[in-house]
Chains A and B, each alone.
Chain A
Amino acid sequence: GQQVMQIPQYQHVQEGEDFTTYCNSSTTLSNIQWYKQRPGGHPVFLIQLVKSGEVKKQKRLTFQFGEAKKNSSLHITATQTTDVGTYFCAGPSSGGYQKVTFGIGTKLQVIP
């Protein structure tokens, strides 16, 4: 079945450094979603990308969808301690829009 692979699994950065997490699918995705889970919390939807090559920004966060719609990235500029958490990408499972498959997540630690 369709899988969504995410790397790295863990990332430690100094506050102020940039951070990027990557998401790759074995099949073309109709869309990709990104979620953030703070420690002790539940995943919260951040954004959805639909178009090939799409780039969206939310303040210091930049989301990109690959031209082939098989990969995506989330880049955080100048990390802050509030960015700590696990970032998940998610894409529709093969066969339709219905079920969404989550990547394993990238756990970000920001060292003050």
Chain B
Amino acid sequence: GAGVSQSPSNKVTEKGKDVELRCDPISGHTALYWYRQSLGQGLEFLIYFQGNSAPDKSGLPSDRFSAERTGGSVSTLTIQRTQQEDSAVYLCASSLVGGNEQYFGPGTRLTVT
């Protein structure tokens, strides 16, 4: 079956603009995670959705970042008023349930100029 997909694969935006990143998890996976990875760095947790529970937003770096997951499936990560330090690869992962092995999408490379 299809894996986790993300769009766009690359996004170049001007400082101050808003961006939306999309994640399509594996069908049936109830858990969805967003991570940020700067060049050569580890995985920075951003937000976690599990079923219909309230999301764990503890990793969001500022109130410019928000995410939603509609119908327990597709998720959108929104960054408002982008800054240059937001430049990174944004990875989405899903798992059957929270804590199980995660399947990562190919990521969206965001460049803020």
Contact = CB atoms under 8 A, between A and B. Distances in A.
Partners in one complex: yes
A31 interface: yes
Contacts of B101: 33, 45, 48
Interface in A71-112: 88, 90, 92, 96-105, 107
Interface in B32-72: 33, 35, 40, 42-43, 45, 48, 50, 56
Interface in A1-42: 30-31, 33, 35, 41-42
What interface size band does chain B fall in?
20 to 34
What interface size band does chain A fall in?
20 to 34
B48 A99 contact: yes
Interface of B: 31, 33, 35, 40, 42-43, 45, 48, 50, 56, 91, 93, 97-107
Interface of A: 30-31, 33, 35, 41-45, 48, 88, 90, 92, 96-105, 107
